[in-house]
Structure 1
Amino acid sequence: MIALRQAWPMPSKPRPIVIIGTGGIVRDAHLPAYREAGFAVSGVYDPDRDRAGALAGKWGIQTVFASLEDAAGADAVFDVAAPPLTHHEILAALPHGATVLLQKPMGLDLAAATAIRDVCADRGLTASVNFQLRYSAMMLAVADAVSRNMLGKLTEIEVQINLATPWHLFPHLQGNPRVEIVSHSIHYLDAIRALVGNPTSVFARSYGHPSSTLADTRTSIILDYGATLRVLLSINHHHDFGREFQAAQFRVEGSEGAAVAKLGVLLDYPAGEPDELWMVARGAAWEQVPLAGAWFPDAFIGPMANLQRFAAGEDDILCTAVDDAWQTMALVEACYRSGDQPGTPLPIMRTEP
């Protein structure tokens, strides 16, 4: 099988990174990815000084900033890994012209995303959002295959998630009026946009579950890309009946071939299973594509590498720049608005007396 692109090129002169926020995603993904890539983390800041100090000690980070203002004074690229409700305040505190990577989502709704986009423009920030699934080895390979027309005319994109997610690991989601799409399925919506652009319309419904106090943890989405490309997402985070029929799959199919990716980290999260990518050409046998890295933590290298290369003039495109991320947020908003609309009622069936 032809070699497919699986990694983003590294900046020739990496700049140090200051991380704002020291929660679980930083511990489990950002720091392991940055160490693997050779990115230097020069300091961290968190309102919880004890948590920041403990993480810095474990990872050999020299500086724990006492305040956001102190952190903002560093000569570094800023990795804002804080909850979305704090993004606007943090961005407003950063110096004009700073280079910034924002943790997803870009706010919790489109109004917040617009405010974040505007403050980035007002302060001249080179800012990107950490939609890292599109930078994973498996999705970069799929995108490369699509760009080379190896699958032919695309006819199917389907995301199937049917597993048990340990929502207790995400206590910050409690009380949010929107959960599943904006915090989870947003990854798939962004990856689909990266492959085939924006749909013309959406149908979506999200649902709660009797076992959960979160607002919504299950979703069905259909994206309209015209008469021949069927795109849908079926998301259930409550299939807690053993591993046998659990699934975390991203399928892309065309007239001449197909690709199926297994999103291994989601199965038994956070321990996970290995990611997998399988591809087939029409008339041939399925082949497993060896992967150069996993979604967690390796894909977290890509957004930072692209951001630093773009800021240095080495990349022409900042793939998940706030303007592009705003479009992903607009798609998320459209899904929620669709869920607020009534469905088409059935005709009333009458029988003669």
Structure 2
Amino acid sequence: MDINYKPELPLENRPIYIIGAGGIVRDAHLPAYKSVGFTIAGITNRTRPRAEELATQFGIPMVYDTVAEMVQAAPTNAIYDLTLMPNQFVQTLEQLPDGAAVLIQKPMGDDFKQTLEILNVCRRKKLKAAINCQMRFAPYVMAAKDIITKGLIGELYDFEVRLTTHTPWEYFPNVVHHPRLEIQQHSIHYIDLIRSFLGNPKGVYSKTLRNPAKPMSSTRTTTIMDYQDSIRAIINTNHDHNFGEKNQESFVKWEGTKGAIKARIGLLLDYPNGKPDLFQYCLLKEGEAPKWVEVPLEGSWFPDAFVGTMASLMRFVEGSTTELPTSVEDVVHSMAIVEAAYESNDKGGVSPNYNI
């Protein structure tokens, strides 16, 4: 089967100016951009030596002391790549030129109040702003999208994301003590992913839990996104399965009336080393036993999906497409679902009548 799973690249190679020099920039943004020949024109960071280190490593010609200095030097066709923590987004966006193009790291705020502040500044300044919800552009996700769009698995009725792994939270010092750790920082990927296939749900049910042996606010979550009666959309995450690799799992699964697709998220197994991804599909044929077909795909979620979010913004800005899949106007709905998930968690379930 001919599967289209690579993002379309822009016609114009606009210069990218990166604000922030954290691990995600080193491990994902810069390798992804370099792999397709994007031009990284400059970088700035609160601590200049960190920016200088990345500039040397990736051949970035300019290091700026401040965002203001960068903006003053940048041309009008610049693309800004904002990779700071969410509580720094608003003050940084305020410094960008009105009408500028900017890719903002996910999540879109530490809470929904902050989400709306980010949205409002983008609207007021007429920024061409997108959120880096890059899982939408992971090779196995784009491959699944292509197969489903072609109607090959029929009507989609089941969408499941399951994670049973051991996550070394020490690799994420900036968020490890976040009061809304699991859903806001991690499950947001899957909430946004499901929305990209099914649209907005009419409701959400969620419970997020802490591990009594760990200081983190939450490390396990079950979330149900409520669509029509025939569609089950569920997210199960357990970051505490530290009992060896044998029973660990990390996958996305789509089931339809004519077939199914399953993708292993290799990145999250033995993190940060990762395991190979695995993409397979099964198309039902009358009179034949179900057969799963494995398809090798080039690339993975990290770093390759980061090409997709940047490329889609560049294509929107240049006018080669009218769609901006992860625009702030779209992703604000993913954040609304996150907020609803926490509200559902706080309210709890329906108490049975035990007075029998």
Sort the TM-score into its range (normalised by shorter chain).
over 0.9
**Map of 1:88 onto structure 2:** 90
**Map of 2:36 onto structure 1:** 37
**Map of 2:296 onto structure 1:** 290
Name the amino acid aligned to 1:303: T
Q: Out of 113, 121, 129, which is 2:115 matched to?
A: 113
Q: Deviations over 1:41-90 (max 9, x none)?
A: 11111101121111211112121101111122212210001111101111
Query: What is the RMSD computed on CA atoms of the aligned residues?
Result: 1.1
Q: Name the CA distance, whole Å, in 1 between partners of 2:307 and 2:151.
A: 27
Q: Deviations over 1:293-334 (max 9, x none)?
A: 211100100010010010000112000000001011111111
Percent identity over paired residues: 40
Helix, strand or coil for the counterpart of 2:316? helix
Q: Does the CA-based 8 Å contact 1:173-1:214 persist in structure 2? A: no
> TM-score w.r.t. structure 1 length?
0.97
Q: Out of 333, 336, 341, which is 2:342 matched to?
A: 336
Q: Name the CA distance, whole Å, in 2 between partners of 1:80 and 1:38.
A: 19
Q: Out of 131, 134, 138, which is 1:132 matched to?
A: 134
Residues 32-71 of structure 1 correspond to what in structure 2 (within 5 A)? 32-71=31-70
Q: Out of 307, 328, 348, which is 2:354 matched to?
A: 348
Name the amino acid aligned to 2:339: E
Name the amino acid aligned to 2:52: G
Residue-pair matches, total: 349
Helix, strand or coil for the counterpart of 1:317? coil
**Map of 1:208 onto structure 2:** 210
Q: Name the CA distance, whole Å, in 2 between partners of 1:184 and 1:278.
A: 24
| 2:159 is the counterpart of 1:152 | no
| Structure 1: runs of 5+ lacking an equivalent | none
Q: Does the CA-based 8 Å contact 2:170-2:176 persist in structure 1? A: no
Q: Name the CA distance, whole Å, in 1 between partners of 2:296 and 2:325.
A: 25
Change (3 A) 1:279 1:10: same
Residues 270-281 of structure 1 correspond to what in structure 2 (within 5 A)? 270-281=272-283
Helix, strand or coil for the counterpart of 1:185? helix
Give the Å deviation of 1:349.
4.7
Q: Name the CA distance, whole Å, in 2 between partners of 1:157 and 1:72.
A: 43
Q: Does the CA-based 8 Å contact 1:138-1:291 persist in structure 2? A: yes
Q: Does the CA-based 8 Å contact 2:158-2:256 persist in structure 1? A: yes
> TM-score w.r.t. structure 2 length?
0.96
Name the amino acid aligned to 2:68: E
Helix, strand or coil for the counterpart of 2:218? coil
Q: Deviations over 1:258-301 (max 9, x none)?
A: 00010110111121112111100114410012213211100100
**Superposed structure 1 runs of 4+ greater than 2 Å apart:** none
Name the amino acid aligned to 1:72: V
Helix, strand or coil for the counterpart of 2:65? coil
